[in-house]
Structures are given as structure tokens and as C-alpha cells.
Homo-oligomer: A and B are copies of this chain.
Amino acid sequence: MTDHFFEGAEKLLEIWFDTSETKLTTRNDLRHIPRDAIEEVLNLVNCKVLRFAQSKEVDTYVLSESSAFIWKTHLVLKTCGATTLLAAVQPILELAREYAGLDMVDQIFYSRRKFLRSDLQKGPHSNFENEVAYLDSLFEGGCAYVLGRVNRDCWYLYTLDKPCERKKLDQTLEVIMTDLDPEIMKIFYQDNTTSATEATKKIGIDKIFPNAKIYDYLFEPCGYSMNGLMPDGYYFTIHITPEPEFSYVSFETNAPYSLYNDLIRKVVEMFNPGKFTTTMFGVSAANSLDLQRKYFHYTDYTRTDYQIVCLTDYDLIYGYYKKTLR
């Protein structure tokens, strides 16, 4: 028995910017921030850039601990392990102001699953209360929510209570899986698979969005990350911690909601987790409640939690599923 442990659960930060000028111009683009300035921020968080790519709409980074995506006026930063993601917030706000004239925050989402080992986290990340206190010191009107069972698995969210000015109404799906099938997880060890591309194909990640460009990475001795770019600024990203003692896989996308039912089913069948959480943002709860009764039932899984939070512009839907004992 070793003490080896890795916290797969990511901290996830999404910030939407705006300008106090009357309208957005080409100057207002987060992608004007120099690459070395971004890498400096990532250093603060304790991440390195492993791969970089771009499409017309988005710059994407595969990181030593998860991923970053940068669009014109918003960004997604997702970091796992013992990274200190919140240390990036203030520097990012400054870079956005300096290089992109984006001097206002339109909306922010900070979220994460309950850590397996919060005692190994650093700074405010050791508990949600401290994270909230830190964010409250930077933003006005922040709202902190806990979804799921606080004495078991749960998921935390911090967001601003305000209507968005610039932010397009979009949607995000995250599927967070634990207790994964150890046979499947073997794919993500360099002893069994020689390259990231091979891992991507073996498990079938290349078939989730056949039109995506995939930027993947296989870690030494094990672990896997990928960012996928589709047309129109759509993305998906998968991160895999395969060790059986603390296996963890996350799937995230901003693909359209109409695909979610098939997507969740595909992803869950691919990884065969013992438990999984789904979070969906940006969906009308009334519609989705109706939809979930029809669709969001997965063979072999029992839904033990289902919650809806109606936010100012968004609805958030949280589901928690466990493999049914036979």
C-alpha cells in the first residue's frame, strides 16, 4: 500500500467579460493576451502548458493539470490535483483589462465536486466556505450553492446574481464519473498504450464528436487529457485519472442541449462508472423536467439525486446516479 494519491476532481472557472465602452470592437479579445502572460498565470496556479491549438473561435490549452479555453470575451479554466485555481482570478482580470480592454465581469461560474481528499488542497481550496469568502472579496453579488448531499457526494457552485449583458445564452454539460471500470482504465497507462492518439481511438473518444479536432495527451506513467474543438466555438474536454483507488473521469462540453441525452448515454457506456454526476447549465428547467422524465433514465443506474436551481438567466440541473446493485 503506497500513499500515492491524485485528486482528479477539477476546479472549474468560467469568466465572461464585458467592456465599459459603448460597444465591443476587435480590440476586445482575450486572445490578445500574450502567451507568456497566460503561462505566468498558469504558473501561479501550478500548471504547465502541454499542448496549444486554436480555431477561428477559440484558443485551447492542454495543461499538466487539465485544460484552458479562451474565446473572444470569455474563458474556461479547469485544473485538477492540488492546483490553486482561484489564484488566477485577479491576474486574469488584470490581463483582460490591459490587453483586451475588457474591464468588466459580466458573469462568473466557479464550481467543483467535493474533493476526495480536501486535506491535501492548498489555500482557500481546503473548503468551500473559504473559496466563497475569497470570491466574495473580489466580486459583488456572489451566490454560493451546494447541490447534492453535503454528507456524501456534492457539488459546489459560485456565480453572480445578475442578468448577463454580453454573455450569449449558451449551455454546458459536465459528467463527472467515479469508481470507474478498472479494465477500461487500463487503457490510460503507458504500459498498455503507446500514445495519446492510440488511447483516444481505443476507447472511442474520437467518435463522440466525429467532426472535432482532438488535442490529447497521455501522462507518464498514467492519466489522460484531451481537448476537442468543433466548428462555431463548440468544445469538449475529457480528463482521466485511472488509478483504481481514486479513479475519476470528467467530460465537459458546450454542445447544444438537444444532444445531451445521447451524449450522457455514450459517455457513461464508454467509461462504465460506479457513480456519476451530471450538471447542465442553461436549460429551461420546465422543459428539462419534462424531458428528464422521458429521457434521462439510464439502464443499470438509479438516480439518487435530482435538483434544479433557477438562476437569473440560467437553470442548473444536477443529477446523481449510482450503478444499480443486482
Q: Which residues of A contact B (CB under 8 A)?
A: 128-129, 132-133, 136, 142-146, 148-152, 161, 285-286, 289-290, 293, 304-310
Answer whether A143 and B151 are a contact pair too, CB < 8 Å, given A286-B289, A308-B285.
Answer: yes
Contact of A150 among B144, B151, B152, B293 (CB under 8 A): B144
A143 CA / B147 CA spacing, docked (Å): 12
Asked if B310 and A307 make an inter-chain contact with CB atoms under 8 angstroms apart, the answer reads yes
A280 to chain B, nearest CB (A): 14
- Across the two chains, which residue of chain B brings its CB closest to A150? B144
Query: Judging by beta carbons under 8 Å apart, are A304 and B144 in contact?
Result: no
Q: Could you say which of B146, B152, B289, B309 contacts A289, with CB atoms under 8 Å apart?
A: B289
Instruction: Give the shortest distance, in Å, between A110 (CB) and chain B (any CB).
Output: 12
Known: A132-B151, A304-B161. A146 touches B146 (CB 8 A): yes
Q: How many copies does the complex hold?
A: 2
CB A126 to nearest CB in B, in angstroms, measures 14
Residue in chain B with minimal CB distance to A288: B289
A132 to chain B, nearest CB (A): 5
Q: How far is the CB of A136 from chain B (nearest CB, A)?
A: 6
7 A–B contacts from the bound complex (CB under 8 Å): A132-B151, A143-B152, A145-B148, A146-B146, A285-B289, A289-B308, A307-B308
Which of A133, A148, A289 gathers most chain B CB within 10 Å?
Answer: A289
Whether A145 pairs with B136 at a CB distance below 8 angstroms is: no
Residue among A146, A148, A161 having the largest count of chain B Cβ atoms under 10 Å: A146
Cα–Cα distance between A23 and B149 once the two chains are bound (Å): 33
Closest to A308 in B: B308
- Residues of chain B within 8 A of A136, CB atoms compared: 151
- Chain B residues within an 8 Å CB radius of A308: 285, 289, 307-308
How far is A143 from B304 in the complex, measured between Cα atoms in Å?
10
For A150, list chain B residues within 8 Å (CB).
Answer: 128-129, 132, 144-146
Interchain CB contact (< 8 A) of A310 among B129, B142, B286, B306: B306
Of all chain B residues, which has the CB nearest A304?
B161
State A146–B133 Cα separation when bound (angstroms).
18
Q: How far is the CB of A88 from chain B (nearest CB, A)?
A: 21
What chain B residues lie within 8 Å of A309 (beta carbons)?
305-307
Which chain B residue lies CB-closest to A310?
B306
| Complex Cα–Cα for A129 and B285 (A) | 30
Chain B residues whose C-beta falls within 8 Å of the C-beta of A133 in the assembled complex = 151
A289 to B317, CA, bound (A): 14
Across the interface, name the chain B residue whose C-beta is closest to A156.
B150
Give Cα distance in the complex from A143 to B285, angstroms: 23
Q: Are A151 and B142 in contact (CB under 8 A)?
A: yes
Nearest CB in chain B to that of A161: its residue: B304
Complex CA gap A286/B306 in Å reads 12
* Closest chain B CB from A193 CB (angstroms): 39
The residue in A144, A148, A150, A304 that gathers the most chain B C-beta atoms within 10 A of its C-beta is A150
Q: Which 5 A-B pairs have the closest CB atoms?
A: A306-B310, A144-B151, A308-B308, A146-B146, A143-B149
